[in-house]
């Protein structure tokens, strides 16, 4: 696994939102791996480089390619799914981002980063009856009843009468 100083520095720049500096360091790392024909590029580098590329230069098609390649190499890493979802959000593809996050939950259903991203996006469960509107009386009350059984420790709010 790649844990050298250059990678950590690039990730720090990425985290603070300095995408151009992060891209400089990620490109140095990629060039170093391309020079050394005996080593393969670590998926961590591909995933985080894709994220920096999307936010720094708005090259989302390439960024999606880098992130999906990282997932194909190591599908069991939930942070790769979060990175790909953020790239999709950068490209205004919210539904693709949500789908990727749910795929990541299949790998690790308790991952805090995936759950936080889903909460940030405000993803809700589907209504009980899909053919009725979300605000229909049956969907509201049956949804409240099922949520009581799912989340026994959470208090259920009463709906406001309209």
Residues 107-129 have pLDDT tens digits of 998 999 999 999 999 877 788 89
Say what the pTM is.
0.78
Q: Are residues 116 and 132 in the same domain?
A: no
Residues 38-60 have pLDDT tens digits of 788 999 999 999 999 999 999 99
Count of domains in the chain? 2
Of all residues in the chain, what percent carry a pLDDT higher than 90? Answer: 68
Q: Are residues 29 and 108 in the same domain?
A: yes
CA 152/CA 34 separation, integer angstroms: 54
Where in the sequence is the domain holding 14, given as residue range(s)? 5-121
Structure tokens at 84: 């790909």
* pLDDT value at residue 152: 57
Residue 138 φ then ψ, to 5°: -65, -45
Residue 100 lies inside a defined structural domain of this protein = yes
Residue 159 lies inside a defined structural domain of this protein = no
Residues 63-109 have pLDDT tens digits of 999 999 999 999 999 999 999 999 999 999 999 999 999 999 999 98
CA 105/CA 2 separation, integer angstroms: 24
């Amino acid at each position: 696994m790649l844990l050298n100083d250059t990678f950590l520095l690039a990730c720090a720049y990425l985290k603070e939102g300095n995408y151009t500096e992060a891209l400089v360091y990620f490109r140095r790392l990629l060039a170093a791996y391309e020079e050394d024909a005996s080593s393969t590029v670590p998926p961590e580098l591909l995933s985080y480089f894709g994220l920096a590329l999307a936010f720094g230069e708005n090259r989302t098609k390439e960024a999606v390619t880098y992130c999906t390649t990282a997932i194909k190499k190591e599908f069991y890493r939930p942070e790769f799914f979060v990175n790909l979802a953020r790239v999709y959000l950068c490209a205004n593809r919210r539904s693709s981002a949500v789908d990727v996050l749910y795929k990541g939950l299949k790998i690790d259903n308790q991952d805090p980063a995936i759950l936080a991203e889903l909460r940030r996006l405000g993803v809700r469960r589907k209504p009980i009856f899909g053919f009725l509107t979300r605000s229909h009386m049956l969907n509201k009350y049956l949804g409240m009843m099922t949520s009581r059984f799912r989340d026994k420790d959470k208090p259920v709010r009463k709906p406001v009468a309209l």
